[in-house]
Amino acid sequence: MIRVILSGAAGRMGRAVGKLMAACDDMTIVGAVGRPGRGYLGMDYGELIGVGRIGVAISADLESVLDRGDTLVEFSTPDATVAHVQLAVSRGLSAVVGTTGLSPEQSQTLATATARIPCVVAPNLSVGAHLLTTIARMLSSALGEGFDVEVLETHHRFKQDAPSGTARAIINAITEGRARPEADQVVHGRHGRVGPRQAGEIGVHAIRAGDIVGDHTVMFGGLGERLEITHRAHSVETFAHGTLRAVRFLQGKPPGLYGMADIIKTVTSDE
């Protein structure tokens, strides 16, 4: 039985993961961590997510529950995630990080931490979104700068970071395909008299509306033709299922930084 501690347990993703995990026969929730000062602190986590009592009270203190678990699952804020993963390293727990909005410095800190624990870091834990990123890299390399690139991401009104973590991954993939630094290419939105589009630009646009789970489109526009690839998440459970897959993947793995590509390879080889 895999013993899991959920951080960001009361958030949109945390609740979705918790509901699926509560129904699993190979893992159990042994800790639930939420934000300080919230009214749900002290509540039974199972009652909060609607699955009945599970005997786990929601706490604001990760360190107080770390000794109960094998794996930490992170869907909290960037600052909290970095601090929590460092605590997981000190206790030898594996970690799954789905937190978005990490700065380059925070991402580097997490990468350094994986020298001591196995850790999956993925801004989007769906198979389809990972494949979209992979295809975007291939198309960017094949089409070159003769094709204009625009990245459009759409999410619910409550999302706090922009562009999304998945959009950032897509941008990174495109710049890798072109073998040029991101800073030389990316334009976030356009306003006013901006003039003609500059060669090599990567336009990035973020939309926030209603309860949209997450859509990502990459457009490659040439003269006389246009190629678009789109991934649409129909439910937050898409990412929750990916999270459980990541937790299972880490069992028995050596220390290191892993991503969705590693998880997909493992599933494919097993099948």
List of residues 6+ apart from 83 with CB closer than 8 A: none
* Residue 265 annotated in active site: no
In a 10 Å sphere around its CB, with 0-12 CB exposed, 13-18 middle and 19+ buried, how is residue 135 labelled? middle
Enumerate residues 6+ apart whose C-beta is below 8 A from 215.
Answer: 152, 153, 154, 155, 230, 231, 232, 233
CA distance 24 to 160: 30
- For residue 254, which phi and psi values (nearest 5 degrees)? -75, 165
Please list the residues that pair with 150 across neighbouring strands.
203, 219
Catalytic-role residue among 159, 205, 241, 253: 159
Q: Counting Cβ atoms within 10 Å, is residue 270 exposed (0-12), middle (13-18) or buried (19+)?
A: exposed
Q: Are 40 and 15 in contact (CB under 8 A)?
A: no
* Helix and strand counts by DSSP (H, E) for the chain: 8, 12
> Is-catalytic flag, 155?
yes
Tell me the residue type at 6.
Answer: L
| Catalytic pick among 84, 130, 155, 231 | 155
Q: Do residues 15 and 235 lie in contact, with contact meaning Cβ atoms separated by under 8 Å?
A: no
Annotated catalytic residues are: 155, 159
